[in-house]
Chain A
Amino acid sequence: MSTPHPAGPTPPTGLAARQAALVATLVAGAPVPAGFVTDRVDAARAALLRKRAGEVARHWPLLAAGLGDAWWGTFRDWAAGRPTAGSLRDGWDLARELRDRGALPPLGAEELVVREAAHHYDGEQPPRHRRLPAFARAGDAVALQFAGRVRLLRPARR
């Protein structure tokens, strides 16, 4: 079906395998398949990341606003080579990582604790509503959920 590929890692054959290899290149950090123009594939990879950053910012507006000018670089560094788990979970995973590094801005901390008080999220399965009352904290920010209502008990320190 196709002309021979130039030398390189044994290229996959068949459309399904070749499409899978290309998507892995674009979103999971796999090498560029043989024969493609590397610069162009890199440009597509960057464009996908930029679009994804915008979608995650829509789901996590306070996290993105809290990072301000650093949002794009922070998201890009975190997301490159990491396939999406959907915008909600991408932002959640990023917020937790920033929290663990002590790099979560106050607005992001407040957004995170409100979400964590309301939902159980184990990092593997989609988040689901908590049935029992719960506290959540990130740094100084503390949120309480009771009977489905969430209150930010203490804001993050500015």
Chain B
Amino acid sequence: MTWPHGVGIGWRPEIAGFVAELPGLRFVEVVAESLAAGGPLPAGLAALRERGVTVVPHGVRLSLGGAEPVDPHRVAHLARVAELVDAPLVSEHVAFVRAGGLEAGHLLPLPRTREAVTAVVANVRRAQAELPVPLALEPIAALFDWPDDELDEADFLTEILDATGAGLLLDVANVYANARNRGDDPHALLDRLPLERISYVHVAGGAERDGLYHDTHTDPVPAEVLELVGALCARRPPPALLLERDGHYPPAAALRAELDALAVAAGHPVVT
């Protein structure tokens, strides 16, 4: 039940063996929907819990940004999973993933409007009422914006966090991706986000395709993202940073090098 601290990695079955052998590891994240609410935990994850490694369930399908009320069964699942791993907190996204009876298959951006703030705040409060632990919210990477934004990203997020008391799960790769694709300065966004509310930080790799930067989680972490991690830490060091990798897993040495680079950029002890 220890709050996330230091450098962690997203636990995935494909890299369970690699993660199990990281001697300094103190926290991981697991996709909440991949766990059975009634247990048992996958063996690798259970072994980490026995070692005292903090496990944070990370929801990806709650659709807190949907105009419809969040599905209570999905919230209940997240709550039970949080208890199953004795989590100190859980996290989800400021996004929607379905509408009109169709699944989008990924996280979609909200219009940055008052109406959307109201909808997401209502859903976050519904979730918080049922969750046994605090909730942290993650802004997403988006390839497009809605045409009628009324708020900029910093104001939009700050209003949601202020109204809900939720923590901020800041994904530095998403900050980089959005700024690059919009032609904005990512440091300017860091200057305006409520960094004191950060619960932990995500870092992931991506790649450019057809002139757009895609936050793929299947490519190496670019140097620019690591530099932005350094810029964030110079402003206010976050308590914990987590590497997300979701496919095209590289050899163990390459993954260890990414974790080490993240630790160095953030001034945390290496975990490898």
Contact = CB atoms under 8 A, between A and B. Distances in A.
- Interface footprint category on A: 20 to 34
Interface in A56-88: 83-84
Contacts, number: 93
Contacts of A51: 105-106
B145 to A, nearest CB: 8
Interface stretch (B3-11, B21-29, B113-121, B262-270): B113-121
Contact of A48 (B96, B99, B104, B145): B104
A16 B68 contact: yes
A66 B149 CA distance: 46
B66 interface: yes
Contact of B102 (A3, A44, A52, A83): A83
Interface in B165-221: 210, 212, 214
Contacts of B100: 16-17, 19-21, 23-24
Interface of A is mostly: helix
Most buried by A among B104, B119, B148, B214: B104
A18 interface: yes
Contacts of A36: 144, 146-147
Interface in A1-40: 1-3, 5, 14-24, 26-28, 34-37, 40
B247 interface: yes
B105 A48 contact: yes
B98 interface: yes
B249 to A, nearest CB: 13
Nearest to A4: B148
A15 B148 contact: no
A55 B148 CA distance: 33
B213 to A, nearest CB: 11
A26 B108 contact: yes
Q: Which 10 A-B pairs have the closest CB atoms?
A: A20-B100, A35-B147, A40-B144, A16-B67, A19-B99, A15-B67, A2-B148, A20-B99, A44-B143, A1-B115
